[in-house]
Amino acid sequence: MRPENLNLDWARGQLEDCRLCPRQCRVNRLQNETGWCKAAANVTCFMEYVGYGEEPELTPSHTLFLTHCSMDCIWCQTADEQATSPHVRLTPQSLQRIVARGISEGARNLNLLGGEPVVNLPGLLLLFAELDELPPIVWNSNSYCCADALEVLDGLVSVYAMDLKTSSSECAAKLTKTPDYPEVAKARLVELYHRCPERILLRHLVLPGHFACCTRPSLEWIAAALPGVRVSLQDYVVMPRARPDASLGHFLSAEEFARAKGLAGELGIPLVERLPGQATAPAMAVQQQLDLGKPINGEKTIDIELILSPEGKLFLRHPNRPAAALAADIVNPQPGTGGVL
Ligand code: SF4
């Protein structure tokens, strides 16, 4: 798709006076001022690869992890990488190369995530204006942004992979440092629903110990306010920062996840599956396991993690093609490939 009708005046205006999210920092990012999220005017990324861990309809998906975020979630799965990886500035030329490589590796889309892509939206629009061609765009967002940030994406985005993290302001304040998250996210989701319900893929992370305060009210709201929208329930992986937390220091039990799925079913919410055992990568030769990490900009390899929860659930972080194939083999071992670890 050729990027057209990009609102570059809006993009430059936001860089001069940033109101992209409800924090309304109103900093001039073109003058090197930074607000709450610390994002600069340029777009920088800290990781990218063609991944096999998204929902089947998106996979393989060229995930481009952009730096900085408008929230601060205790369970963030990329905070460590973002803190320790080089932040590489994207130019039209480097983005064109990255996009071309993703397409050559079979990616069905360019998946913009982070961090949070909205804090990079003005810079992204300015970059896109320099490109001849873009693959279908997946906007992978926390839903915490201002209304016009989503409006300028009209016609550019194929799939809005949006979060509804919680319906509880108390939990949002404590766990994400964003007390107004529920009202803001719901307002954006309703606006998006009125424009393009078929393009929304709504994600809800099921947190251990947060069924009554977060999951139940979120699912009930989705069923009432966004009927027919597809929902992807996500299993919870304990990240180092969450370990001291009384409930989030533990993996989600199978019962808790089943309870969330059961409620979604009772409410008539269409669910989209996203499980490591459903990795869609074709089987690969065992020796390719030695090349699981793919160089990024010649400087770093991806750290792919296989995490086994105490209950025996297998999680795969950053599943590129060979890693996803390996996980699929572990979950559904083929003759001669069992016990490869
Ligand atoms: S995007 Fe960043 S600088 Fe802009 S309003 Fe939000 S937190 Fe502030």
DSSP per-residue codes, 261-313 = HHHHHHTTPPB----GGG--PPP--GGGGGG-S-EETTTEE---EEEE-TT--
What are the tens digits of pLDDT across the range 10-47?
A: 999 999 999 999 999 999 999 999 999 999 999 999 99
pLDDT above 50 for 245 = yes
User: Please, which pLDDT band fits residue 330 given cuts at 50, 70 and 90?
Assistant: low
Q: Which atom of ligand 1 is nearest to the CA of 70?
A: 7
Distance 299 CA to ligand 1 centre (A): 29
Q: What is the pLDDT of residue 134?
A: 94
Tabulate helix, strand, coil % of the chain (nearest 5).
35, 15, 45
Give the residue, by CA position, lying nearest to ligand 1 atom 4.
18
Q: What is the mean pLDDT of residues 109-137?
A: 96
pLDDT above 90 for 151 = yes
pLDDT above 50 for 61 = yes
User: Please, which pLDDT band fits residue 329 given cuts at 50, 70 and 90?
Assistant: low
pLDDT above 70 for 283 = no
Of 266 and 80, more confident: 266
Distance 55 CA to ligand 1 centre (A): 29
% of residues, the chain, pLDDT over 70? 85
- 25 close to ligand 1 (CB < 6 Angstrom): yes
Residue 300, strand partner residues: 296
Distance 98 CA to ligand 1 centre (A): 26
pLDDT above 80 for 276 = no
Distance 18 CA to ligand 1 centre (A): 6
Give the residue, by CA position, lying nearest to ligand 1 atom 6.
21
- 24 close to ligand 1 (CB < 6 Angstrom): yes
Q: How far is CA 306 from the centre of its chain?
A: 19
From residue 335, how far is each of 279, 291, 331 by CA, in Å? 18, 22, 13
76: its two tokens: 């963030």
Of 279 and 225, more confident: 225
Mutate to test the pocket of ligand 1, among 14, 15, 21 (most ligand atoms within 8 A of CB): 21
Most confident of 213-227, 242-256, 306-320: 213-227
Mutate to test the pocket of ligand 1, among 15, 17, 19, 23 (most ligand atoms within 8 A of CB): 23
Q: What is the mean pLDDT of residues 140-148?
A: 98
What residues have CB less than 8 Å from 151, skipping those under 6 apart? Answer: none
pLDDT above 70 for 284 = no
pLDDT above 70 for 337 = no
- 66 close to ligand 1 (CB < 6 Angstrom): no
What residues have CB less than 8 Å from 333, skipping those under 6 apart? Answer: 339
Residue 50, strand partner residues: 62
- 69 close to ligand 1 (CB < 6 Angstrom): no
Q: What is the pLDDT of residue 224?
A: 98
CATH code at 8-278: 3.20.20.70
Neighbours of 89 (CB within 10 A): 12
Whether 168 and 211 have beta carbons less than 8 Å apart is answered as no
Taking alpha carbons only, the member of 6, 8, 98 closest to residue 44 is: 98
What are the tens digits of pLDDT across the range 65-113?
A: 999 999 999 999 899 889 998 999 999 999 999 999 999 999 999 999 9
pLDDT above 90 for 4 = no
User: Please, which pLDDT band fits residue 289 given cuts at 50, 70 and 90?
Assistant: very low
pLDDT above 70 for 292 = no
Of 80 and 223, more confident: 223
Whether 17 and 24 have beta carbons less than 8 Å apart is answered as no
pLDDT above 90 for 180 = yes
User: Please, which pLDDT band fits residue 127 given cuts at 50, 70 and 90?
Assistant: very high
Half-sphere exposure of 248 (CA within 13 A, CB side): 19
Q: What is the pLDDT of residue 302?
A: 66
pLDDT above 80 for 228 = yes
Whether 237 and 315 have beta carbons less than 8 Å apart is answered as yes
Q: Which atom of ligand 1 is nearest to the CA of 24?
A: 5
- 144 close to ligand 1 (CB < 6 Angstrom): no
